[in-house]
Structure 1
Amino acid sequence: MKIFEKTLALVLGFGLVATGTVSAREYDEPHRVPLSFDRYYNYPDLVAAFKTLEKAYPKFLRVETIGKSVQGRDLIVAIINNPDTGPELRKAAMYIDGNIHGNEVQGGEVCLYTAWYLLENYGKIDKVTELVNERVFYIVPVVNPDGRAWWFDMPNTSSTSRSGLKPTDNDNDGLYDEDGYDDLDGDGYICQMRKKVPFGNWRVSSEDPRLMERVPFGEVGDYILLGYEGIDNDGDGLINEDGPGGYDPNRNWPSDWQPNYVQYGAGDYPLSLPESRAVAQFIMSHPNIAGVQSYHNSGGMILRGPGAESVGEYPYQDVRVYDRIGEIGEQILPFYRYMVIAKDLYTVHGGFVTWTYEGLGIFSFTNELWSSYEYFKKKPAESKKRDWRASFLARQKDRMKFNDLVEMGDMFVDWHPYRHPTYGEIEIGGWKKWSARVAPVFALEELCHRNCAFTLYHADQMPKPAIHEVRVWPLGKGVYRVRAVLANERIIPTISEQARRNKLQRPDWALISGKKVKVLAGGPVNDRWLSKMRPVKHHPEKIRLTDGIRGMSERVVEWIVQGSGKVTVALDCVKGGRVEKEVRLR
């Protein structure tokens, strides 16, 4: 427990509660790579920033291409490892990605910040140095580079487009991507359309004429909302029904995948998209990955699976681990809630973090970045009566107040008239794409740091194998009993219960070897005080630990050996690496 408490204190502060020297460095010492986190990076600039970090820190960072997007953009991964402390595949690794949905852009900035923070503070903040020495980080900043480019370069809303840019016939008319949003007034934004009518279901808010409110049942409004800006480009009587892409890259993963008529946007089959296939191939070729973090927006959530109730709850042994990390996450991330996707949000079939846990046995989280509660750093008072109209309007009022007082009115387009070819006289207005789901630039660095801190806490809690003790007892005639106390010094087990039940990874190994030594017997010891070893039938020099080692716990193994000289005891874990200790037989 002391290890846990010490680790938590260090990670929560990441040096902010350390010595005066560190504080002076943070304020006064220039960064080797002075990246700015009060801006958003388009995809070429984001890739260039990672390449700049690679050039500045060639020992620790390399940037590789793991695949191509639909439109041919490179899908990059940044790999952070200290080669002086061992090869990457012999260490527990943290996989981090962002921006699988094209419009959910700030995940890319959090990924960039994480790499930058680790590299810039190596050798300066003890905890960061320890993490870089002992762990590996695989960072895919943008899983959907086409979607990011489209969102940056084209008129969009804050919610469009989630998709990638593989042409898709969403309305089944034989045409592809032929009827998307149109920037009717040419202002560079896709806003809403409204029309004044005698019997409407919306009305202008009496508190702020820029806001619309739904009228209660039995009352009559004077407006209807017509959706986002657009016209009937293909003459089929529908508007905006077949825009670019139109699928969901986060429904294309193998676990609980369902076809499109069950799960909209799932794709033709699991991993049918080049981006998801490239990521899956990378993860499966790196079995040392022991933690997964995916960044989305928005809502202020720390999410875990299952994504569908039909899957059932996860094994309680693993839920305890999830709960501990999630609870700490709520402390690191004010205004974020730790939630279960299927129970607390909605059903997701074929989701990424459900696949990495259910299919691979890796503890995995999705963070939904940014929350409307962060506008004025407060949550609304709890109310037993659920009035969605009042709640919606209250959130809109807060958002408008934030726009007026903090953003100087820059996030809203005032309603103005427009002559529509189908609807006639309408008005266009509403929120710009840089509002709502995307944090304002002045708040971006704090968002990046706190989410980085949560992910580094998760990374620190990945398995940390250790050999606490090796003892030798002579039994006579050159025969010895060797006992090793093996440990896992972090809360994540070396083998999750999900992985154990479904045989998703090889067992851990307890090994003994020596040049002049013959291993006569060996096996685990359930009770170290009774010293009752359960001998394995074959290859006693290599004891299979099929259950692994639980978090913050020890396991004892023993061998009977014959010989002289030194023996080496090793603990070899797929998701933790290998540790060794040498002793002399005497």
Structure 2
Amino acid sequence: MNQHRLASRLLQVGLGVLVALPLVGPSRAAVAQQQIDAKVPIAFNRFYDYDELAAEMAKLASAHPELCSLHTIGKSEQGREMWLLTINNPETGSDLSKPGMWIDGNVHGNEVQAGETVLYTAWYLLEGYDEVPAIRELVDSNAFYLLPMVNPDGRAGWFRDAHTPNSNRTGLRPTDNDADGLLDEDGPEDLNGDGHIGRMWRPDPNGTHRRNERDPRIFERVPAVPGPDGRIMRGQWSMAGSEGIDNDGDGRINEDGEGGYDMNRNWPSDWQPTHVQRGAGTHPFSYPETRSVGDFIRAHPNIAAGQSYHNTGGMILRGPGTPYESGNYPRADLAVYDALGAAGAEMLPHYRYMVIHSDLYPVHGGFVNWLSEGLGIVSFTNELWSEKRIMQDGGNGLPDDAARFRWQDRVLFGQTHNDWTEVDHPEFGKVLVGGGTKYSRRTPPPFMLEEEAHRNFAFTMFHASEMPSLRLNELLLKDLGDGVWQVDLEIANDHLIPTRVSHAAAKGIGTPDFLVFVPGDGTELLLAGPTRNRFAKTFDPVEFRPERIRVEEGIQGRSISTFRYLLASDGPPTGTFIYEAMKASDLSIPLEVAVE
């Protein structure tokens, strides 16, 4: 066959296949790999300011009224609404009747991608409900409470004003940060008008740094050691601080900018005053934002899991925040945290599972500490984004300045670095101003934002999938004669998180679980209590109200608890068992399903 005839034959075969494909229809595997057909298309390769993010939340709630409600839980210091999405399928029960998961972000104003990550969580849960069976099961079985912007003022200000990557963390109540009796009197200034607060370098014949010969954007430290001529080496430049001037004449620059309180130091667990923990406030819940969040969470005792998103560093953090609080994490609870944390470290590239006080730094009055230690909620803080992902060559270390600039030039096209420009400074004379923009260091580039959001969403959904889930394992009925019947009831929790964590049981946090028996006509309850297992010869009858057994320890994760009842009845007994748990859906079991 010559080349022309071969080409014609291949074309005919190809066209035949193309014509036939629509008749066959897409395969199941192909359908499973399709992009979600969203009612509300949201671009996750960009960031949203406060108003834009609130608008996207409203669109989601409007498009999915059967699963989602949008409401405000309070107002910020400057009067902005704190918008929260509740995601729940009411056809499978009210949100308070199911295990709940709290997910928030952007408690610090500069940690902006936390807001997009929570928004992505809401978007995927709602848009994936009809297309992804695993998402449908999660939403049908649980409730989700999503607050993308804990700090509305900080987020609004970060997008509106010139900032560094590290500012502005705080809430925006005027605060005296430098103890001089004045409020917010010495903040930064954008001296070169580039919309960011960069760094300042001043000429100095005895300076600490010199400009790199190959790349003058890099200022490199000069070692204070003898040079070839025997004299101590000196540089030509010294750091003059972040971009700004000394507005109050105290010899310092930018030491008292806008705001100054830290919402992540204002929670009750191990709260310490400001002289111990800067930004802690006068007392727990002293800020409007933390008070609003606290009121909501305390009104929702069904919340069994918590996730708070921050940036940066690639961390999955659990408490405690100080070593002396370690006793609030019993061995059984640590096993739960360790299993979840290990899964997260596997799912999130360059993230590490860490303990706050020992692997990071001490924190008093932290949010996830309060959730875990104060409320018995299994909770994590994820520090989003790691610069270890900059040049993914298989290494695990942080990049040096040269690698960062290769990243800037080759991948980001210089978008998060401003060239050094000369500016007249009232204190220092001629200075160079520039460096990283507020989008550098702490936030992923937009093209990596969606992956970062999805991987963290997937981790939190794994966490959610391990909230307690109860089922009947066995219900065994035995005729003991003389109208007395023995019932052995086995209740299983197939998931990792117990219905009541050990710390909550030990400290009396929340309410215990209860196992209620409602006897049918002609059935009398004689004795009831827990037993080791169905094969045990004895059990421990409760002395008070056996029809309502207190289960202080709850049903532990991935375990079975057995309860034994002695009932009096002329024939097979009747009635209903109801297992009530604050952080799990109640389980109702008719005695009629018992196996003799």
Q: TM-score, normalised by structure 1?
A: 0.92
Aligned residue for 1:353?
A: 368
Range with bigger deviation, 197-206 or 446-455: 197-206
Alignment of 1:155-166 (within 5 A): 155-166=162-173
Distance (Å, rounded) in 2 between the aligned partners of 1:379 and 1:181: 39
Distance (Å, rounded) in 2 between the aligned partners of 1:228 and 1:28: 44
Task: Select the structure of larger CA radius of gyration.
Answer: 2
Deviation at 1:561, TM superposition (A): 1.9
Deviation at 1:29, TM superposition (A): 6.1
Residues 300 and 370, structure 1, Cα contact 8 Å, conserved in 2 = yes
Q: Residue 41 of structure 1 aligns to a residue in which SS?
A: coil
Aligned residue for 2:517?
A: 512
Q: Residue 329 of structure 1 aligns to a residue in which SS?
A: helix
Aligned residue for 2:133?
A: 126
Range with bigger deviation, 217-226 or 494-503: 217-226
Q: Does 1:225 align with 2:239?
A: yes
Deviation at 1:528, TM superposition (A): 2.3
TM-aligned CA distance change 1:40 to 1:473, over 3 Å: same
Aligned residue for 1:529?
A: 535
Aligned counterpart for 2:306 among listed residues 285, 288, 292: 292
Deviation at 1:403, TM superposition (A): 0.9
Aligned residue for 2:548?
A: 542
Distance (Å, rounded) in 1 between the aligned partners of 2:426 and 2:105: 40
Distance (Å, rounded) in 2 between the aligned partners of 1:366 and 1:146: 21
Q: Does 1:151 align with 2:188?
A: no
Deviations 1:2-52 (A, max 9, x none): xxxxxxxxxxxxxxxxx9536436536631111111111111111111111
Q: Residue 586 of structure 2 aligns to a residue in which SS?
A: strand
Residues 22 and 125, structure 1, Cα contact 8 Å, conserved in 2 = no
Q: Which amino acid aligns with 1:568?
A: T
Aligned residue for 2:450?
A: 445
Residues 524 and 535, structure 1, Cα contact 8 Å, conserved in 2 = yes
TM-aligned CA distance change 1:381 to 1:543, over 3 Å: closer
Aligned counterpart for 2:439 among listed residues 434, 441, 454: 434
Aligned residue for 1:489?
A: 494
Q: Which amino acid aligns with 1:330?
A: A
Q: Residue 580 of structure 2 aligns to a residue in which SS?
A: strand
Deviation at 1:309, TM superposition (A): 1.8
Deviation at 1:287, TM superposition (A): 0.7
Residues 335 and 379, structure 1, Cα contact 8 Å, conserved in 2 = no
Aligned residue for 2:589?
A: 581
Aligned residue for 2:417?
A: 412
Distance (Å, rounded) in 2 between the aligned partners of 1:439 and 1:70: 29
Q: Does 1:304 align with 2:318?
A: yes
Distance (Å, rounded) in 2 between the aligned partners of 1:513 and 1:207: 82
Residues 98 and 140, structure 1, Cα contact 8 Å, conserved in 2 = yes
Aligned residue for 1:561?
A: 567
Aligned residue for 1:35?
A: 42
Deviations 1:461-499 (A, max 9, x none): 111111111121223344322211011110111111111
Aligned residue for 2:406?
A: 401
Residues 22 and 124, structure 1, Cα contact 8 Å, conserved in 2 = no
Deviation at 1:82, TM superposition (A): 0.7
Distance (Å, rounded) in 2 between the aligned partners of 1:381 and 1:284: 41
Q: Does 1:503 align with 2:508?
A: yes
Aligned counterpart for 2:580 among listed residues 554, 562, 572: 572
Range with bigger deviation, 563-572 or 434-443: 563-572
Distance (Å, rounded) in 2 between the aligned partners of 1:211 and 1:23: 49
Q: Which amino acid aligns with 2:531?
A: V
Distance (Å, rounded) in 2 between the aligned partners of 1:485 and 1:470: 6
TM-aligned CA distance change 1:90 to 1:22, over 3 Å: farther
Residues 467 and 571, structure 1, Cα contact 8 Å, conserved in 2 = no
Q: Residue 359 of structure 1 aligns to a residue in which SS?
A: helix
Range with bigger deviation, 117-126 or 363-372: 117-126
Aligned residue for 2:21?
A: none
Distance (Å, rounded) in 2 between the aligned partners of 1:529 and 1:29: 50
Q: Residue 224 of structure 1 aligns to a residue in which SS?
A: strand
Distance (Å, rounded) in 2 between the aligned partners of 1:133 and 1:83: 8
Residues 350 and 396, structure 2, Cα contact 8 Å, conserved in 1 = no
Deviations 1:327-356 (A, max 9, x none): 100111011011111111111111111111
Aligned residue for 1:333?
A: 348
Distance (Å, rounded) in 2 between the aligned partners of 1:28 and 1:484: 45
Aligned residue for 1:252?
A: 266
Aligned counterpart for 2:389 among listed residues 374, 383, 389: 374
Residues 92 and 576, structure 1, Cα contact 8 Å, conserved in 2 = yes
Q: Which amino acid aligns with 1:321?
A: V
Deviation at 1:566, TM superposition (A): 3.1
Q: Does 1:323 align with 2:338?
A: yes
Q: Residue 455 of structure 1 aligns to a residue in which SS?
A: helix
Distance (Å, rounded) in 2 between the aligned partners of 1:217 and 1:519: 85
Alignment of 1:11-410 (within 5 A): 20-21=27-28, 23-24=30-31, 27=34, 30-218=37-225, 219-312=233-326, 314-378=329-393, 380=395, 394-410=399-415
Q: Which amino acid aligns with 2:550?
A: R
Distance (Å, rounded) in 2 between the aligned partners of 1:378 and 1:270: 45
Distance (Å, rounded) in 2 between the aligned partners of 1:540 and 1:27: 54
Q: Residue 227 of structure 1 aligns to a residue in which SS?
A: strand
Aligned residue for 2:228?
A: none
Distance (Å, rounded) in 1 between the aligned partners of 2:245 and 2:555: 61
Q: Which amino acid aligns with 1:292?
A: G
Q: Residue 174 of structure 2 aligns to a residue in which SS?
A: coil
Distance (Å, rounded) in 1 between the aligned partners of 2:429 and 2:477: 91
Deviation at 1:214, TM superposition (A): 2.4
Q: Which amino acid aligns with 1:573?
A: A
Distance (Å, rounded) in 2 between the aligned partners of 1:376 and 1:128: 33
Q: Which amino acid aligns with 2:171?
A: G
Distance (Å, rounded) in 2 between the aligned partners of 1:475 and 1:184: 89
Q: Which amino acid aligns with 2:278?
A: Y
Distance (Å, rounded) in 2 between the aligned partners of 1:446 and 1:230: 36
Aligned pairs, number: 558
Residues 466 and 571, structure 1, Cα contact 8 Å, conserved in 2 = no
Q: Which amino acid aligns with 2:513?
A: D
Distance (Å, rounded) in 2 between the aligned partners of 1:527 and 1:467: 14
Distance (Å, rounded) in 2 between the aligned partners of 1:22 and 1:279: 42
TM-aligned CA distance change 1:67 to 1:378, over 3 Å: farther
Distance (Å, rounded) in 1 between the aligned partners of 2:178 and 2:394: 41
TM-aligned CA distance change 1:368 to 1:482, over 3 Å: same
Deviation at 1:61, TM superposition (A): 0.4
Q: Which amino acid aligns with 2:355?
A: V
Aligned residue for 1:385?
A: none
Q: Kindly report the root-mean-square deviation, in angstroms, between the aligned alpha carbons of the 2 structures.
A: 1.7
Q: Which amino acid aligns with 1:172?
A: A
Deviation at 1:172, TM superposition (A): 2.1
TM-aligned CA distance change 1:29 to 1:320, over 3 Å: closer
Residues 525 and 534, structure 1, Cα contact 8 Å, conserved in 2 = yes
Deviations 1:430-469 (A, max 9, x none): 0011121011111111011000000000001111111111
TM-aligned CA distance change 1:212 to 1:380, over 3 Å: farther
Q: Which amino acid aligns with 1:448?
A: A
TM-aligned CA distance change 1:473 to 1:381, over 3 Å: closer
Range with bigger deviation, 301-310 or 200-209: 200-209
Q: Which amino acid aligns with 1:187?
A: D
Distance (Å, rounded) in 1 between the aligned partners of 2:295 and 2:363: 22
Distance (Å, rounded) in 2 between the aligned partners of 1:288 and 1:549: 15
